[in-house]
Amino acid sequence: MKKRVAILISGRGSNMRALIEAAKAKDFPAGIVLVLSNVPNAGGLDFARRHGIETEVIEHKKFPSREIFDNAMDVALNRANAEIVCLAGFMRLLSPRFVEKWRGRMINIHPSLLPAYKGLHTHSRAIEAGEKFAGCTVHFVTAELDDGPTILQAKVPVLPGDTEDALSARVLEQEHKIYPQALRLVAEGKAKI
């Protein structure tokens, strides 16, 4: 049985797209059953709809607190019978209770070689610091931001004269490779907390 996966997005959803494409393969151990966005016009929503995947928008702004917003997401995830949650450019902090509930079943992709460069603007910070390498990490989500056990990482060189855009494109190409691979490992029970 394929594991039922929900993807949480806030924007263009290119990692979401990579997961949806990968999950089309017969032998992929997971299927995408829901794409949930906290932003109504997130670019990724259209792609998901066109691929016949159920989408739902839950606008964080409409909720009085983080906990209540997270609870609404939890209800949607349970309604879809989601077993694994993939954060794919989901730009909201999550409450400890929600994180704890999905512990070991929620994964995230971050555009740096964690534990280096948690947070935002990872590429410009890496360039400014004169790093020779940058990359991306898929990890289990724990209470601390951009923390939690690593599942897979990919490394790319930082090239002379790199701009933020050039580096982020180089890293993104790797994100699209390792996220489906990491989801496979989790769905097969080969990576766990």
Q: Is 156 in the site for ligand GAR (CB under 6 A)?
A: no
Catalytic residue among 60, 110, 121, 176: 110
Q: Is 88 in the site for ligand GAR (CB under 6 A)?
A: yes
> Mind giving me the DSSP string for 27-88?
T-SEEEEEEEESSTT-THHHHHHHTT--EEE--GGGSSSHHHHHHHHHHHHHHTT-SEEEES
CA–CA separation, 159 vs 142, rounded Å? Answer: 32
Instruction: Confirm whether 60 is a catalytic residue.
Output: no
> Closest approach of Cβ 91 to ligand GAR, in Å?
7
Closest residue to ligand GAR in the complex (CB): 89
Neighbour-count burial for 58-89, b at 16+ CB within 10 Å, e otherwise: bebeebeebeebbbbbbebbeebebbbbbbbb
Nearer to ligand GAR, 2 or 12 (CB): 12
Q: Is 70 in the site for ligand GAR (CB under 6 A)?
A: no
Candidate list 29, 89, 148, 180; residue touching ligand GAR; CB under 6 A: 89
Candidate list 113, 146, 162, 184; residue touching ligand GAR; CB under 6 A: 146
Q: Is 167 in the site for ligand GAR (CB under 6 A)?
A: no
Nearer to ligand GAR, 76 or 86 (CB): 86
The SS3 call for residue 96 is helix
CA–CA separation, 161 vs 165, rounded Å? Answer: 11
Query: Which chain residues interact with ligand GAR by CB under 6 A?
Result: 9, 11-15, 88-89, 109-111, 136, 146, 172, 175
